[in-house]
A and B are shown apart, each in its own frame.
Chain A
């Protein structure tokens, strides 16, 4: 038997409020993260992901307080990310009650961060988030929410992250994010078939079929989405029933 495919609502949090952009700009407010998280948990979300998109010191403190409140109220696993630069950030968030942390830019700049996190807390807490775009010369990793191109290729960086101990890869295709025309299934499949750690698909969900396809064609272990959930376009119970009817192993 294999594990159930996971559905993960992602909440971008800025100054304690949930937001979600289209192609990483034009942020729209979508509510209180704790209330939303609780609602998702009750609807059958398998996990929650909270990304802090505030950069300031004050914002980080607000975010940590939010993590504490989420941990008190929510009985499913949750991942937090955004602004994690060093082990002290990871400690702060895990002690506040997060189950996993997702690292992104800081890990590309200093890959040893992944070793440090996993040596201290185990692989299961470390999600390596990768934002990538398909450029003329292939898939490239980007930093700062997509504003800065790096010379790292998606596949080689994902492989290195695995070798350093990352427990999961959260891959966001910037070409697909916010467009709602489906996930980057070809790239996802290449990741899933070549790595031995779970792959979370992110960016591109617009219809229920997109979730099915990322599991069947993209071989993803989990699918993450934001706006289709926040604005009620795809209710989670309906999505899961659909996936089950399509023969996909989901938790209902």
Chain B
């Protein structure tokens, strides 16, 4: 299988590369339009600042390219946020697959630490992406911004408030957590994506 990872200025992409290698996949890390278009699957991971990431993608017209991809695409963490319409982080217009606004966590109590960093449970899972997994399974999150619940939500998490841990629309799948750092559960999610 030909799996491409979008290469851009957004953080630790090598952990996703390593995770795919553990599944026996040798991914292509690229920002080349032709290579991305002809891949069987595209991963769009990310960490860091949404505004800086969008500036970089727009300067290379990768935002339009990603929007028009037809094969299964998996947006991870900031990748999920960038597939939304707009982010409060840097007041950034994003790619707009999902008609959702990315918001900053507003702590309500002393325990509400931001960034939200650690293991949390998934609920309301509904998608082939979660085949073989259960409500209550733990995955690893690191984020300060979140996507509210919406029609495209396929898994929820609850931290400060319930929000979209994962979304699906057409050929686009996303998760806010890091499957590549989420032990066996995360490995299964990556496998499920590759099987879609």
Q: Which residues of A contact B (CB under 8 A)?
A: 1-4, 6, 41, 44, 46, 71-73, 75-77, 94-95, 97, 99, 122-124, 167-168, 193, 196-198, 221, 251
Contact = CB atoms under 8 A, between A and B. Distances in A.
A198 B117 contact: yes
B158 A124 contact: no
21 contacts: A1-B120, A1-B157, A2-B159, A3-B141, A4-B138, A6-B118, A41-B183, A44-B183, A71-B15, A73-B22, A75-B180, A77-B181, A97-B15, A99-B12, A122-B47, A122-B48, A167-B115, A167-B117, A196-B110, A197-B113, A198-B113
A241 B30 CA distance: 44
Contact of B120 (A4, A193, A197): A4
A3 B118 contact: yes
A3 B119 contact: yes
B119 A6 contact: yes
B111 interface: yes
A44 B107 CA distance: 29
Interface of B: 12, 14-15, 18-19, 21-22, 47-48, 107, 110-111, 113, 115-121, 138, 140-142, 157-159, 180-184, 186-187
Contacts of A251: 119, 138
Of the candidates A6, A168, A196, A251, the one having the most CB atoms from chain B within 10 angstroms of its own CB is A251
A71 B181 contact: no
Contacts of A122: 47-48, 115
A3 B177 CA distance: 13
A99 B181 CA distance: 9
A75 B22 contact: yes
Contacts of B186: 75
Given A41-B183, A124-B117, A167-B115, A1 B159 contact: yes
Contact of B187 (A75, A99, A167): A75
A113 to B, nearest CB: 20
A92 to B, nearest CB: 13
Nearest to A122: B48
A224 B119 CA distance: 16
Contacts of A123: 115
A71 B120 contact: no
Q: Which of A3, A6, A99 has the most CB of B within 10 A?
A: A3
Given A4-B118, A4-B120, A122-B48, A72 B21 contact: yes
B113 A76 contact: no
Contact of B142 (A4, A73, A124, A221): A124
A193 B184 CA distance: 33
B119 A97 contact: no
Contacts of A196: 107, 110, 113
* Those 10 A-B pairs whose CB atoms lie nearest each other, nearest first: A3-B118, A251-B138, A1-B158, A4-B119, A251-B119, A124-B142, A77-B181, A72-B18, A124-B115, A3-B120
A97 B115 contact: no
A94 B12 contact: yes
Contacts of A73: 22
Given A72-B18, A75-B19, 19 more contacts: A3-B116, A3-B118, A3-B141, A4-B120, A4-B138, A46-B119, A72-B21, A72-B22, A75-B186, A76-B140, A77-B181, A95-B14, A99-B12, A99-B15, A122-B48, A124-B117, A167-B115, A197-B113, A251-B119
Contacts of B181: 75-77, 99
A26 B69 CA distance: 59
Contact of A71 (B14, B121, B141, B183): B14
Nearest to B142: A124
A1 B110 contact: no
A94 B48 CA distance: 14
Contacts of A4: 118-121, 138
A77 B140 contact: yes
A99 B182 CA distance: 13
A72 B18 CA distance: 5
Nearest to B115: A124
A95 to B, nearest CB: 8
